[in-house]
Structure 1
Amino acid sequence: MKKYFGTDGIRGKALEKLNSNLAFKLGQAIAKSLKPMDVVIGEDTRQSSSLLAFGVAYGLALAGVNVYMAGVVSTPMIALYSKETHKIGVMITASHNPYTDNGIKVFKNGYKMLDDEELELEKYIDEDELLVSNSFGKILFTDEVRKLYIDKVNSLNLPSFNQSIIYDSANGANYKISNEIMSHYAKNSLQIGNTPDGFNINLNVGSTYIDTISLKVKEHHAQIGLSYDGDGDRLLVVDHSGKLFDGDLIIYIIAKYLKKKGQLKKDTVVLTRMSNLGVINALKGLGIKVILTDVGDKYVSDELVKNGYSLGGENSGHLILNDYLPSGDGLFASLFLLKVLEEMNETLESATKEIYMYPQVLHNIRNVDKNVLNHPTIINLINNIKEKLGDDSKFFVRPSGTEDLIRVTISHRDETVLKHYLSVVIDEIKRLGEIKK
């Protein structure tokens, strides 16, 4: 079991569980375990991010590692720079969480570290002995992360987009870069969620609050709305009517395009267990094989890299175009999607008209002991429900790796059946997992 790393790096209450001391120790652990010469550090717009960024930087510099501070940049920008320069990348962000939380993600050659690599890092975090170099590393500021990303976007040879677009940067890490790029390629665009103050990241904006972009699109009679998350690695989209198109549907549109162009390697797409059965069936109908991984974009990424596939992601909006970038990137994916729709002369609706989306519910159970999932009664109940739902369904119950809650996901063609079994499992988990006050 990992002590510090969860499903997406280290995460916790900013300056409480995750404080500058832990950040310093992580910097030391990176120096001891990975022995890099240089490390690049980016951060989102949270009030606590700079303090944590410099905590990591001081731990590294004391050990003789040169540190390049990139300032406010998106997670995928750090991942790209890490891959292209072979530097270790560190991103200070809690992604879609509120400003009171924060987190640290570590990239090695552009990819998030896997479980065994994170366990190796953890061996050094709790060491009391400091690694002090005879020659301290330098802490420098750099604009190279932004420049490299701009070059990658320009390599797509994008057309000018004439449709009216609204994009929501969640008051987060990509608010600068998304404005710079959209202002160039989409003249008829409007940005919202672009006034970060350290406290308003993801606050009533971004991909975790999709109502905002939906209302703005309808208010301004825009053709499409693009919504990113706090660290810029997710994308959700709405059409002119405000209808949501999640990561599954976006991947379907792009996969169909790449297959038609002969550019979908091995005619395979990588999704997670959370993906909608309707999308999976529709992809198979196009002759596209679907590989399912555990939840977490790092598992999708690992599958893509190991087997040389082109495309994968999560319905939450992590979209990895592996032939271009090593990580999910909301902005890059949105530009690619706009390019696809224009070339195909399609709308979001027409490009997905053949899909029957199965009813699917994700319910978060709060204020319960997550260890209740080890209770024999709950184990038996979950197994019985899976058997009764049958093969053409989905049923997962798992503890969150980043929050204090249990997630229940259920999907079935018959919504009445879905609601019945969802209610049964929620009631039993609450009954047996109640936290006594």
Structure 2
Amino acid sequence: MARKYFGTDGIRGRANGVITPDLALRVGMAAGVVFNRGDHRHRVVIGKDTRLSGYMIETALVSGFTSVGMDVLQLGPMPTPAVAMLTRSMRADLGVMISASHNPYDDNGIKLFGPDGYKLSDEVELEIENLIDSDLSKKLAKSPDLGRAKRIDGVHDRYIEFAKRTLSRNLDFEGLRVVIDCANGAAYRVAPAALWELGADVIAIGDQPDGFNINKDGGSTAPHALATKVKEMRADIGIALDGDADRVIIVDEKGHVVDGDQLMAVIAQSWKEEGRLSKPGIVATVMSNLGLERFLKDIGLDLVRTPVGDRYVSEAMREQGYNLGGEQSGHIIMSDHTTTGDGLLAAFQMLAFLKKLGRPASEACHRFEPLPQILKNMRMRPGSTPDKAQMTKIVADAEKRLGAGGRILVRPSGTEPVIRVMAEGDDRALVETVVDDVIGALSASAA
């Protein structure tokens, strides 16, 4: 069944376009009805990033939840992984994060977590969707059963202590000069504070949110400012979070960007040496570079691939018993510690590896040479789709041309009217030619 509201990471869209107060109210009511089961007093925790529209959406959600009898604990600006952690810690029935992650300020979104801190299953999201479009007036609580709402103090300290406890007690970051780019987002307070408490010499940028500047010219999707600052301050390493801090990108002391594939390689190798991997391998998506797969194979580890989306990585980790996974974009999931991607915790693992190795970040953080990888989008006209049989043949022909040393992926976008074509292999010129030829053939088949 097609989903009307939920995408691969909650509900997302333009504030006061897709994400209106009315929709937020109905989401709160519908989710409240689904999770308001049993005879205990039900509660939901709500966090948000720093977007201007967060105030509007939060207020509407609070109205929705309290109207169906759920108590609301408002956390204020907090990272997405902190909301997931606090949902479990506070024994809440539901967790909500108001964020559009790495998108510009004028977008926003609603992410939902179950009482276990994991993102909701497709089945539960469909149940909520069906209620959103129903007559919710029949679900309103009686006057004595209305919910209460209050803001919770001290949540920043709780998350900082939680993050620090993921490291060995005798480990600190003394002697490391670290630039942290908070993307003017949800981690603007907790990330610099946590690094400072662990002894690092911290230079913070992107830590002055004004409601409009989240992810603007900074953060994990635009690490150029961070690279410049790292070289200017002669720092040992740079850390770039995104707007809700569930992903991270690293910059080494030379200003070179280190993506999520390299981060997974570093953590996988470190954990293998320390005997911390629950199984000999990790989970990543179909977008992760073939170079990562080859590196892992060389050190005796498997790579399990999933569809794009950290929720699919998390599901595969749970089903197959892996405790490390992630995405090339910087979502790193370490299930021994958290239920979702956590940029700060992943950065901690990188800094710990740096301390253990005693080498510059440019050596420590570059575990393999990535293969040339080309990704291009083919925009589709409304109502037009390539013929499936022809698409299968086009992809098969491309695979033959790339040979055993390459691979190709063709998939429709979940957020835009485009088909994404990605190929990689040892020969960059061949990869580029194959991608262009595939796009040309698909365009002709959709005409």
| TM-score of the alignment, normalized to the shorter chain, above 0.5 | yes
Following TM superposition, by how much is the alpha carbon of 1:81 offset from its aligned partner in structure 2, in angstroms?
1.1
Structure 2, unaligned runs of 5 or more: none
Cα distance, 1:149 vs. partner?
A: 1.3
TM-score, length-normalised on structure 1?
Answer: 0.94
Q: Does residue 107 of the first structure (1) align with residue 120 of the second (2)?
A: no
Following TM superposition, by how much is the alpha carbon of 1:431 offset from its aligned partner in structure 2, in angstroms? 6.0
Q: Structure 1: which 5+ runs fail to align?
A: none
Alpha carbons 1:11, 1:402 under 8 Å: kept: no
Cα separation, 2, equivalents of 1:213 and 1:66 = 41
Moved more, 232-241 or 129-138: 129-138
Q: Distance in 2 between matches of 1:328 and 1:315?
A: 12
The structure-2 alpha-carbon separation of the partners of 1:401 and 1:353, relative to structure 1 and needing over 3 Å to count, comes to: closer
Q: What is the CA–CA distance in structure 1 between the aligned matches of 2:381 and 2:226, rounded to whole Å? A: 33
1:323 and 2:336 are equivalent in the alignment: yes
Q: Is the 8 A contact 2:182 2:207 kept in 1?
A: yes
Q: How far apart are 1:378 and its partner, in Å?
A: 4.2
Following superposition, the deviation at residue 186 of structure 1 comes to 4.3
**CA contact 1:370–1:405 (8 Å) conserved in 2:** no
Residue 181 (1) aligns with residue 194 (2): yes
Matched, 1:139 2:140: no
Q: Quick one: which amino acid aligns to residue 181 of structure 2?
A: D
| Inter-partner Cα distance in structure 1 for 2:125 and 2:308 | 17
Q: Deviations over 1:56-96 (max 9, x none)?
A: 11111000100011010010100111233342110010001
* 1:95 maps onto 2:101 in alignment: yes
Cα pair distance change 1:371/1:330, threshold 3 Å? farther
Tell me, yes or no, if structure 1 residue 119 matches structure 2 residue 126: yes
Deviation, structure 1 residue 384: 2.4
Task: Mark the CA change 1:311 to 1:347 in structure 2 (over 3 Å): closer, same or farther.
Answer: farther
Is the CA contact 1:193–1:205 (under 8 Å) kept in the aligned structure 2? yes
Q: Structure 2 residue aligned with 1:148, among 144, 158, 161?
A: 158
Match of 1:422 among 402, 425, 435: 435
1:360 aligns with 2:384: no
**C-alpha displacement at 1:216, in angstroms?**
1.6
Q: After superposition, what is the alpha-carbon deviation per residue over 1:299-357, rounded to whole angstroms, capped at 9, x for unaligned?
A: 11112222332211001000011111111111111012101221122333333666231
Q: For residue 239 of structure 1, what is the aligned residue in structure 2? A: 252
**C-alpha contact 2:254 2:362 (8 A) present in aligned 1:** no
Question: Counterparts of 1:49 and 1:89 in 2: how far apart (Å)?
Answer: 15
Give distance in 2, aligned partners of 1:8 and 1:370: 25
Q: Please, what is the CA RMSD of the aligned residues?
A: 2.0
1:24 correspondence with 2:25: yes
How many residue pairs were aligned?
Answer: 434
Contact persistence 1:92–1:105 (CA under 8 A): yes
Superposition map of 1:22-421 within 5 A: 22-35=23-36, 37-87=42-92, 88-108=94-114, 109-130=116-137, 131-134=139-142, 135-155=145-165, 156=167, 157=169, 158-351=171-364, 355-366=368-379, 368-369=381-382, 371-373=384-386, 377-421=390-434
Q: Which stretch shifts more, 110-119 or 145-154?
A: 145-154
Q: Deviations over 1:228-255 (max 9, x none)?
A: 1111000111111111111111111111
Residue 14 of structure 2 is aligned to residue 13 of structure 1: yes
Distance in 1 between the 2:383 and 2:182 partners? 33
1:305–1:245 Cα change, 3 Å: same
TM-score, with length taken from structure 2: 0.92
